């Protein structure tokens, strides 16, 4: 059965992939975005754009009131650990403050399903090899803290007002739409996979590895790279699970790759060398973050389609190779006379 959904940040990396999944099911989708980070070209035909900043309480109230919504999916926000270490109050203000504005509007207008894009960054420096939902929460960055505060606000929104929520703590979103319509395009780009790919493509002179002295087998940080289309599927399954009550899930593939593993994978997929040098650690980076996704798999039947690093990298590589200027390339091509 199709539904009607409001997707904040639906023009961003993970949000746009969820919108693609919803449209493919025949759902109605309104994308709320201020287009500071998101891209208009990332909204596929079939979805409607609402040019709204979450700081604008009146506009947020108006669009939430224009329901009924089967659910609100909330992706909008800042998501860079290192940036949050430099500008903590911006992260707390925008991610938590504006998120609260949205949650309050949902409560006011009777929305009873909410899905939050949360993060593994709220686990801090874990001591177990794989993190499940019982792992203690202890954010070591304002980014992680801002998402944790939102999760807590949702717990109270449920207890007091009956707003059911699914929070998805995802690990490292990576790859891109296998159909080649969507990709990862941050300005400026700071993420490992796109930067390593750009280095292979000769668009950057070298890749800088942040820290080679971590307590890991090759000394570089280990992360759990989960394909963005698998993440989109996880959101949909978590939404369905809300019929049984609020839930929180850790979403990753359950296996880690080091920074050097990713560099080698990019070399295999591209057939080119990635020049790199090892520099100092980046503040706020935990050594290892790997999910135990057992709970979401058991409860929702979710299972990642992409489990091989090279397959994830290949989708990212194909989009980046075809879009030298990210979504700007798509606009330029579309605007060119044939």
Q: Are 50 and 38 spatial neighbours (Cβ–Cβ below 8 Å)?
A: no
Only one residue has tokens 């993440």, namely 231
Tell me the window of 88-96, 114-122, 127-135, 153-161 that interacts with ligand UFG (CB under 6 A).
114-122
Distance CA 254, CA 237 (A): 18
Q: How far is the CB of 210 from ligand UFG (least distance, A)?
A: 4
Contact in structure between 306 and 233 (CB atoms under 8 Å): no
Q: What burial class does residue 199 get, using C-beta atoms within 10 Å of its C-beta: 0-12 exposed, 13-18 middle, 19+ buried? A: buried
Q: Using CA atoms, how far apart are residues 14 and 330, in angstroms rounded to an integer?
A: 19
Question: Is the Cβ of residue 12 or residue 239 nearer to ligand UFG in the bound state?
Answer: 12
- What track of x and - describes contact with ligand UFG for positions 146 through 175 (by CB under 6 A)? -------------------------xx---
Q: Does 292 bind ligand UFG (CB under 6 A)?
A: no
> Each residue of 209-234: b (16+ CB within 10 Å) or e?
bbbbebebeebbbbbbbbbbbbbbbb
Angle, alpha carbons 326-42-182 (nearest 5°): 65
Considering the rule CB under 6 A, would residue 90 count as an interface residue with ligand UFG? no
Q: Stretches 30-38, 43-51, 113-121, 177-185: which one binds ligand UFG (CB under 6 A)? A: 113-121
Tell me the closest approach of the beta carbon of residue 136 to ligand UFG, in angstroms. Answer: 16
Q: For 169, phi and psi rounded to 5 degrees? A: -90, 95
When binding is defined by CB under 6 A, the residue of 7, 115, 120, 238 that contacts ligand UFG is: 120
Q: Which one of the spans 41-49, 100-108, 282-290, 297-305 is the region binding ligand UFG (CB under 6 A)? A: 282-290
Q: Out of 143, 170, 249, 327, which one is annotated catalytic?
A: 143
- Tell me whether residue 143 is one of the annotated catalytic residues: yes
CB of 228 to ligand UFG, least distance (A): 12
If one asks whether residue 209 binds ligand UFG (CB under 6 A), the answer comes out as yes
Which of 105, 153, 266, 289 lies at the binding interface for ligand UFG (CB under 6 A)? Answer: 289
Catalytic residues: 143
């Amino acid at each position: 059965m199709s539904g009607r959904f409001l997707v904040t940040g639906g023009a961003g990396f993970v949000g746009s992939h969820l919108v693609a999944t919803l449209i493919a099911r025949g759902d109605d989708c309104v994308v709320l975005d201020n287009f500071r980070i998101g891209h208009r070209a990332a909204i596929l035909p079939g979805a409607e754009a609402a040019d709204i900043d979450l700081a604008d309480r009146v506009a947020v109230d108006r669009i939430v009131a224009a329901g009924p919504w089967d659910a609100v999916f909330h992706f909008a926000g800042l998501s860079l650990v290192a940036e949050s270490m430099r500008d903590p109050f911006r992260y707390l203000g925008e991610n938590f403050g504006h998120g609260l504005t949205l949650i309050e509007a949902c409560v006011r207008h009777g929305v009873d399903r909410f899905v939050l894009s949360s993060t593994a960054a709220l686990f801090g420096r874990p001591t177990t090899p794989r993190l499940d939902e019982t792992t203690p929460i202890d954010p070591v960055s304002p980014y992680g803290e801002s998402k944790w505060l939102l999760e807590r606000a949702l717990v109270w929104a449920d207890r007091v007002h009956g707003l059911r929520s699914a929070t998805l703590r995802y690990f490292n979103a990576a790859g891109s739409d296998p159909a080649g319509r969507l990709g990862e395009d941050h300005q400026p780009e700071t993420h490992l996979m796109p930067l390593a790919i750009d280095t292979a493509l000769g668009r950057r002179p070298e890749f800088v590895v942040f820290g080679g002295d971590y307590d890991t087998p090759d000394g570089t940080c280990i992360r759990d790279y989960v394909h963005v289309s698998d993440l989109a599927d996880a959101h949909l399954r978590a939404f369905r699970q809300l019929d049984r009550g609020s839930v929180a899930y850790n979403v990753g593939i359950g296996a880690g790759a080091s920074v050097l593993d990713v560099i080698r994978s990019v070399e295999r997929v591209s057939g080119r060398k990635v020049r790199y040098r090892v520099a100092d650690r980046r503040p706020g980076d935990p050594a290892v973050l790997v999910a135990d996704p057992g709970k979401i798999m058991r409860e929702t039947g979710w299972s990642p389609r992409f489990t091989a690093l090279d397959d994830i990298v290949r989708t990212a590589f194909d989009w980046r190779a075809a879009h030298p200027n990210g979504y700007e390339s798509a606009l330029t091509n579309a605007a060119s006379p044939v």
